[in-house]
């Protein structure tokens, strides 16, 4: 699983995850809050959805997610 694609897929499919740019344009360096407009509730929604694919993911990890790359790093560590 490519974490970036998983993230894009979740954002595309979940109507609660409305972002400020087209999903296809999401880049690892984008900031969740500053570039995509996802707030703490949005990030928690994303974390819960990611747990379906990465059951070991602790949702409090989002505290350290500023950029999309930060979340990719977390997911890569989970394998």
Partner 1 sequence: MQELNELPLTFSGAPVDQAERKSLADSILETIKTIPEGAPLLLQEKNPLHFLFNYHFSLKKGLKVIALPTDMTAYQIDHIKEDISGSWILQNGELKEGIGKSNIPNDITHACLTSGTTGHPKLCFFDQSQSRLNAQMHTESLGLTSEHTLIQTLPLYHSFGLVSYYYSWLETGFTLDLNPVFLGFKSLAKRRLKKAALHISPSQLRFMLKEKTVPPLGLDIISVGGGSVDTGSLREITKKLPDTKIYVTYGLTEAGPRVSTGQWENHAEGYIGKPLSQVETSVLNNNEFKKTGSGKLAIKSPTLKKNPTASEIENDWLVTRDHVEIKENGEIYFKGRENDLINFGGISLYPADIETVVRSHPNVRDCVVLKVPSSTYEEEPLLVVEPVIDTKDLRQFMKDKLSAGQIPKKIESMDKLPRTSLEKVDRKELGKRLELS
Residue numbers of the site for partner 1 (CB under 8 A)? 16, 18-21, 33-35, 37, 39-41, 43-45, 48, 59-60, 62-63
Minimum distance, C-beta of residue 77 to partner 1, in the bound complex (Å): 18
Q: Please choose, from the candidates 33, 35, 25, the residue with its C-alpha nearest in 3D space to the C-alpha of residue 4.
A: 25
Residue 2 makes CB contacts below 8 A (sequence gap 6+) with none
Pairwise CA distance, residues 28 & 58, whole Å: 20
Q: What are phi and psi of 47, to 5 degrees?
A: -60, -45
Nearer to partner 1, 3 or 32 (CB): 32
Nearer to partner 1, 2 or 21 (CB): 21
Minimum distance, C-beta of residue 79 to partner 1, in the bound complex (Å): 22
Nearer to partner 1, 40 or 76 (CB): 40
């Amino acid at each position: 699983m490519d974490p970036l694609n998983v993230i894009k897929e979740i954002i595309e499919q979940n109507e609660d995850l409305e972002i400020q740019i087209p999903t296809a344009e999401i880049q690892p360096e984008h900031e969740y809050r500053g570039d995509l407009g996802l707030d703490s509730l949005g990030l928690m929604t994303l974390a819960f959805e990611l747990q379906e694919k990465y059951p070991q993911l602790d949702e409090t990890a989002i505290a350290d997610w500023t950029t999309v790359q930060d979340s990719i790093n977390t997911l890569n560590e989970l394998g």
